[in-house]
């Protein structure tokens, strides 16, 4: 990466992450509502717990207040791994029985 391009690249990454998570979470939550997934509220709360800090970081970064930290990267990786490996796998049987997946 050329010198001075880091901020623009990170801006794009954060924008893409925000857009993807909004779309993905909305789709997932819609499937949960349509199939009356019993743990919908807990799953939605987990999504909200992810979106809020990402949005705050994105805003702080745009304002020039913060850069990427090891803690942020670690938190993102841990959240995604734990959410997908645990919570998303929990709804797979429900969706399969509902003919969604």
In-domain check, residue 28: yes
Number of domain units in the chain = 1
Higher pLDDT, 14 or 39: 39
In-domain check, residue 19: yes
First to last CA, the chain: 40
**Domain interval for residue 42:** 6-97
Give the mean pLDDT of the chain.
84
In-domain check, residue 44: yes
Among residues 31, 5, 18, which one has the least CA distance to residue 76?
18
Q: What whole-number percentage of the chain has pLDDT above 70?
A: 90
State the average pLDDT over residues 8-18: 82
Distance CA 95, CA 101 (A): 5
In-domain check, residue 81: yes
Distance CA 99, CA 73 (A): 36
In-domain check, residue 27: yes
In-domain check, residue 1: no
DSSP string, 62-89: HTTS----HHHHHHHHHHHHHIIIIIIH
Confidence of residue 48 (pLDDT cuts 50, 70, 90): very high
CATH number at residue 44: 1.20.120.50
In-domain check, residue 39: yes
């Amino acid at each position: 990466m050329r010198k001075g391009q880091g901020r623009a690249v990170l801006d794009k990454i954060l924008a893409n992450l925000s857009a993807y998570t909004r779309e993905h979470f909305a789709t997932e939550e819609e499937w949960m509502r349509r199939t009356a997934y019993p743990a919908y509220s807990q799953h939605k709360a987990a999504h909200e717990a992810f979106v809020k800090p990402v949005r705050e970081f994105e805003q702080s970064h745009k304002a020039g207040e913060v850069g990427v930290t090891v803690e942020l990267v670690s938190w993102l990786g841990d959240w995604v791994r734990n959410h997908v490996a645990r919570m998303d796998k929990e709804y797979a049987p429900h969706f399969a029985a509902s003919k969604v997946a």
